[in-house]
Structure 1
Amino acid sequence: MSTPNYTLIGAVSTRAARPVWMLEELGVPYEHLGVKPHSDDVVRHYPRGKVPVLLVEGEPITDSTAILSYLADAHDQFTARAGTLARARQDMLLQCALDEFDSVLWTSARHSFILPEDKRVPQVKDSLRWEFERNQASMARRMGDGPYLTGENFSIADIVLGHCLLWAKAAKFEITEPALVEYFDRISERPAYKATMAKR
């Protein structure tokens, strides 16, 4: 089966980095439009203006995690088989990364530069940093001894957590758990990660 025509919309400085990383891991051809949220190229396919958007033969898929799941299933790579305990563990850790890392960082971003100034509560960031540190300890206990979140095999859960750790560094949220420092150093050596960062 031939590879569909993929166009990924969204700057790598956003969550669009996740599907770009995935496409690089897959080694499939794609077009990348590195535009900001609410750009015309985005709103045309997603009226709310959020990125990323993946066009598959012109059909839009939104939300970085949905895009990762689609690509993993479509290419049968970087995911465990549906209906297996391995898939359940992968999904548990993926959801944990979204709930305990992504959501904290997104809330901080909203109160830093996204919400209208009169709706921002800068003081909340102290609480968020405390929560982020506590959540790191929990994730470190769940990771196990393998090089990746689910063990020996790199998966879409690693792309989400890896991107969250990159985001944390940019937002000056300290990575305090040695296991997570080592984990990030390891996955950031992957050629697909480096290719993604080269698009920043």
Structure 2
Amino acid sequence: MYTLIGGPQNRTFRVVWMLEELGLPYQRQYAKPHEPQVTEHSPLGKLPVLVTEDGTALTDSVAILTWLADSTGRMTARAGSLERARQDGLTQQIVDDIEGLLWMSTRHSFVLPEDQRVPAIKDSLRWEFARNCDRLAERMVGPFIMGEEMTVPDILATHCLDWAHAAKFEVSSETLLAYHARMRAREAYSSAVASEKSLAAPATA
């Protein structure tokens, strides 16, 4: 039984979905960034945190997804293979060129102190985001990003497309729009969404 620490509507969703896809047992513990139960495991106070069966705490959503895939031998190419190198390249492309822009926009929306925000930067971020989505679509070679099988980059890409929709970042690529719809129709995705909706903040006095 894994313990997943984090709240809804953030990168924790990626790990919930991965656990559902793999059919692994887990329990959830509600927490916001920088709360004690988070900083106990993550000095940076970031979500999510996955506590394994032996009590080892793992941080960073991409690292957690990669470990879950490697430890089960599913949803990933074999470590050390050329296909894995290609997979890791796609993972980094999504994190750097797509997620990075969304996170920058979020920071300038409400994360940074108000006097440090530059709202005008969002127009440039939206332009670059649309261009980078087209570049990702060009690399797709099948129903999933890597081809015929779902892998770690699919979790990341779909979550970023969800994020983009919420942030009003337009995706014009018909390839990515159709892909997004297919991924959201997956049973494990629906289960992860249900898990998010059922996770309530603890009552406070």
**Normalised-by-shorter TM-score class:** over 0.9
- Please list every run of 5 or more consecutive structure 2 residues that lacks an aligned counterpart in the other structure: 197-205
Are 1:10 and 2:17 counterparts?
Answer: no
**Partner SS, residue 46 of structure 2:** coil
Q: Which amino acid aligns with 1:22?
A: M
**Partner SS, residue 75 of structure 2:** coil
Q: Which amino acid aligns with 1:99?
A: D
Question: Who is 1:130 aligned against?
Answer: 127
Question: Who is 2:73 aligned against?
Answer: 76
- Please list every run of 5 or more consecutive structure 1 residues that lacks an aligned counterpart in the other structure: none
Q: Which amino acid aligns with 1:147?
A: P
Distance 2:6 2:22 in 1: 19
Are 1:197 and 2:204 counterparts?
Answer: no
Choose from 111, 115, 118 the match for 1:118.
115
Distance 1:141 1:135 in 2: 10
Deviates more, 1:156-165 or 1:190-199: 190-199
- Number of aligned residues: 195
Are 1:87 and 2:87 counterparts?
Answer: no
Are 1:104 and 2:101 counterparts?
Answer: yes
1:1-200 aligned at under 5 Å gives the runs 5-56=1-52, 57-144=54-141, 146-200=142-196
Distance 2:8 2:86 in 1: 28
> Percent identical across equivalent pairs?
52
**Partner SS, residue 198 of structure 1:** helix
8 Å CA contact 1:12–1:20 kept in 2: the answer is: no
Distance 1:32 1:191 in 2: 19
Distance 1:152 1:136 in 2: 20
